Amino acid sequence: MKVVETIVWRRKRLAWLLLCLLLGAVVLAVACTKPSPAPIKIGAIISLTGPGAYLTELRDALLMAAEEINGDGGINGHPIELYIEDSKTDPEEAKKAMARLEAEHHPVLYISTLSAISMALAPQAENMQVPLIGLVTSAQEFTEGKKWVFRYYATASGEVAPAISILQKLGVKKLGVLYQNESFGQSVFKLVSAAFEAEGGRVVGQHFDKQDFNVADKVVALGAVDAIYVVGYVSFTGKVVQQVRLAGFRREIIAASGGAAPSVRAVSETEGVYLSAPLLYNENYLYAKKLSDKYVEKFHRPLSHQSAVGYDVLYLLRGLLQDEPVSRVNLKKVLEQGYHFPSAMGDIIVAPGSHEINYPLYPALIKDGAVNFGG
């Protein structure tokens, strides 16, 4: 009897020990399991089709930066979650995309591309009280009078100084301008014309549309000019320069900063074209060189400044949000606080209260297919 009782007691004790161990393991697992940090949701409305389809390269740079940052712990431990929509290079489609993202994901920040698209989205951002950062958005009026709208790109006014410097160097007296009939083209045409005329020069202009950029007749309409200045989307700039040459124009051609893009420089007729360009293309700028090499290795195509701003903007946000709570209101606050940003375009100083994260442009020349700042 005692033997039976001893066996039963041992079995009970073993069962009790096993239960305690199991409960201990459960308690330990619960104690060690922490909820995953909430993601930082960013809505990106990018031209992936239509005339702005070259900005698929920007999307890829954006994804590359997000992958790197998330692999390095995210922003204060929070992973970046990108929600990318195609604007189809159409303002109305872009507005629909923003409404969908807002209803489905409520991002803490929006990113947009191209002046016409960003200009259309700005009122929605203001109404929703959410920060919107325009990339590849140069139209001067984009941020004017806005509380929630910011820009990381060169402005239309930033095109003026290098253009005037080039015109003076070439001794141009009468300038013809071929500009795309949208916000960016109109802004640059207006500002460069005013600055050149203030210097005593004369300006005549002809615009082209994205539906029809056959400019041969427009070159004839410009008449006898000393130089032609081309302003438009990257997807049009090389083609317009090519048509200007095919139309028999043999004098100097100047391009806005879009002409610095590798896809434009790959057009043989752009050889010898003067232009404005950011420091990204300066081979002596080591940070940009390393970024460019990394991008080429990953995507097997050259890095453009239109793509590089997509990479830069996430690292900018990571730096500004260091040890800061993430919310729409706080993002607005840190973007307005004033800071120094060592970007792929060079050092950028943003004054407190400014909504402009502008990098400088410099006079340059396309030589042997590369951007030559010594030209």
Q: Per-residue pLDDT tens for 130-176? A: 999 999 998 889 999 999 999 999 999 999 999 999 999 999 999 99
What global pTM score does this model have? 0.84
Longest dimension (CA), the chain: 122
Residue 57 within any structural domain of the chain: yes
Does residue 12 form part of some domain? no
Closest CA to 78 of 69, 89, 87: 69
The neighbour count for residue 336, using CB atoms within 10 Å, is 17
Helices 56-71/305-320 angle, 10° precision: 30
Of 315, 278, 316, the C-alpha closest to 294 is 315
Q: How do residues 235-261 score in pLDDT, each as one tens digit? A: 899 999 999 999 999 999 999 999 999
pLDDT at 15 over 60: no
Angle at 313 between CA 276 and CA 277, to 5 degrees: 5
- pLDDT at residue 43 above 80? yes
Do 165 and 137 have their domain in common? no
Q: Which of 277, 304, 327 is the last residue of a domain?
A: 277
Residue 329 domain flag: yes
**How many percent of the chain have pLDDT more than 70?**
90
Domain-terminating residue out of 253, 277, 301? 277
Does residue 369 form part of some domain? no
Give percent of the chain with pLDDT exceeding 90: 85
Q: What is the pLDDT of residue 114?
A: 94
Q: Does the pLDDT value for residue 334 go beyond 90? A: yes
Looking at the fold, whether 267 and 196 belong to one and the same domain comes out as yes
Give yes or no: residues 271 and 348 share one domain.
Answer: no
Q: Are residues 260 and 200 in the same domain?
A: yes
Q: In the 8-state DSSP scheme, what is residue 336? A: T
CA 192 – CA 70 distance, rounded (Å): 42
Task: Please measure the distance between the N-terminal and C-terminal CA atoms of the chain and give it in whole angstroms.
Answer: 107
Residue 200 and residue 122 in one domain:
no
In the predicted structure, residue 30 carries a pLDDT above the cut 70: no
Kindly give the interhelix angle for 328-335 and 305-320, rounded to the nearest 10 degrees.
110
Q: Is residue 220 part of a domain?
A: yes
Residues 200 and 126 in one domain: no
145 and 60 together in one domain: yes
248-253 contacts, C-beta under 8 A, 24 or more apart: 249/219, 251/225, 251/226, 251/227, 252/170, 252/172, 252/226, 252/227, 252/228, 253/227, 253/228, 253/229
Q: Are residues 168 and 238 located together in one domain of the fold?
A: yes
Q: Please tell me the total count of domains within the chain.
A: 2
Band of residue 2 on the pLDDT scale cut at 50, 70, 90: very low
In a domain, 34, yes or no: no
Of 218, 249, 277, which closes a domain? Answer: 277
Length of the chain: 375
Q: How far is CA 1 from CA 7, 8, 68, 81, 166, in A?
A: 10, 11, 71, 68, 110
Q: Which of 342, 341, 364 is nearest to 354 (CA)?
A: 341
Contact indicator for 322, 76 with CB cutoff of 8 Å: yes
Assign 17 a pLDDT band (cuts: 50, 70, 90): low
102 and 149 inside one domain:
yes
Same domain as 243, residue 173 = yes
- Do 148 and 164 sit in the same domain of this protein? no
**Residue 84's CATH number:** 3.40.50.2300
pLDDT reading at 5 higher than 90: no
E-strand spans in 227-281? Answer: 227-231, 252-255, 274-277
Amino acid at 262: P
Q: How confident is the model at residue 327 (pLDDT cuts 50, 70, 90)?
A: very high
Does residue 7 lie in a domain region?
Answer: no
- The per-residue pLDDT for 255 is 98
Residue-number span of the structural domain to which 103 is assigned: 40-154+284-361
- For the stretch 69-125, pLDDT in tens is 999 999 999 999 999 999 999 999 999 999 999 999 999 999 999 999 999 999 999
Cα(126)–Cα(149) distance, integer angstroms: 7
List the structure tokens of 106: 């409520």
Tell me, yes or no, whether 26 lies in a domain.
no
Output the pLDDT for position 165: 97
Contacts of range 168-172, beta carbons closer than 8 Å, 24 or more positions apart: 168/199, 169/363, 170/226, 170/227, 170/252, 170/274, 171/226, 172/201, 172/226, 172/227, 172/252
- 210 and 100 in a common domain: no
